[in-house]
Homo-oligomer: A and B are copies of this chain.
Amino acid sequence: MDLLRDSIAFRGLSDLQLQEIADMAFSKRFRKGESVFYPHEPCEAFSIVSEGLVKVSICSPSGIKMTYLIAGRGEPLNLVGPFSGAPRFISAEALENVKVLSIGRPEFLLFAKRHPSVIFNVVAILGHAVDSANARLLDMMEKRVEQRLLKVLLTLYRKFGTPLKFTSSELAELAGTTTESILRAMGGLRRMRLIDSRRGQVEVLDPVRLESISQETLWV
């Protein structure tokens, strides 16, 4: 399975070891809009995306959602859950028709114990996640909505190219604001000829200028 070879979580493993994982894995399909898992559900498996895109969000009791990862091929959906097993307030939703590869939690833990390089990879990814979350906290404090949207767009552009197939609500969940504010900010960027947007789709017209305005990027 050369999906595993692509996966950041299994980087550095030999083909033999990858084969061992492949033998334990099973895959499942989800249709666009379906939930891959729900908040408050105990975690029973380690999962990576095989095909399509999955949106991973943290949910507050009051119903607000904040997306912190758009996972594509090879990216893991929940790194902490498989280790702790505890339920967490995160949800994962298929943005397209999606295939997800999973490994049961006990098998995964045993494997990780025998091959520490997996855990080293996990630490590296979690480190990125911590840094990214902290960077977003600072942005929430000192950056205005338009700046945050710029950062989101640039980050998405770097990862997925153009055009970006996201609705304004999805961008709002990424930027930590409301749909209306995103729409207003997009109006501004459109007038500056930085982007063009249609229903459910944003086109980056001037990546260079976008970059010069926005500076650092997030990690999505």
- Which residues from chain A sit less than 8 Å from chain B, CB to CB? 58, 60, 62, 64, 66, 68, 79-80, 83-84, 88, 112-113, 116, 119-120, 122-124, 126-127, 129-131, 133-138, 140-142, 176-177
Contact = CB atoms under 8 A, between A and B. Distances in A.
Contacts of A123: 79-80, 83, 119, 122-123, 126
Contact of A138 (B64, B79, B122, B127): B64
Contacts of A80: 123, 126-127, 130-131
Contacts of A137: 58, 66, 133, 136-137, 140, 176
Contact of A142 (B60, B68, B116): B60
Contacts of A142: 60, 62, 64
11 contacts: A60-B142, A64-B141, A64-B142, A68-B134, A80-B130, A126-B127, A129-B130, A130-B130, A136-B137, A137-B176, A140-B140
Given A113-B116, A133-B133, A60 B127 contact: no
Given A133-B133, A137-B137, A142-B60, A127 B83 contact: yes
A213 to B, nearest CB: 15
A141 B58 CA distance: 12
A134 B58 contact: yes
Nearest to A65: B138
